[in-house]
Amino acid sequence: MLESREFVETRFEACDDLARSVSEFCMTLSFKDELTEEAVLQRCHAGLLQTPEAVASREATWVTRRAAELLQWDQPTLLSEAAEEG
């Protein structure tokens, strides 16, 4: 079933806003906890997956990848994608 254009646009805007917030949180986390960029992004992705009623798995992946892009960090290897490939 295809979603309506309005639904897709609304979800895109929500996910992009979330990615911007996540990127700020990632920057703080990387300095505060002295974690690698990869570890920070993996933690954020895992956190997003904790609320599937709010953020679907594919959206969590997109948000995490968009946050990495906004931060100009390398794209992370995400556990959910590794499981899908295996």
Could you report the per-residue pLDDT of 35-80, keeping only the tens digit for each?
A: 999 999 999 999 999 999 999 999 999 999 999 999 999 999 986 5
Look at residue 67 in the predicted model and tell me its pLDDT: 98
Name the residue type at position 3: E
Look at residue 1 in the predicted model and tell me its pLDDT: 74
CA 43, CA 47: separation in Å to the nearest integer?
6
The pTM assigned to this predicted structure is 0.87
DSSP for 8-75, written as a single string:
HHHHHHHHHHHHHHHHHHHHHHHHHS---HHHHHHHHHHHHTT-TTTS-HHHHHHHHHHHHHHHTPPP
| Res 24 pLDDT > 60 | yes
Confidence of residue 84 (pLDDT cuts 50, 70, 90): low
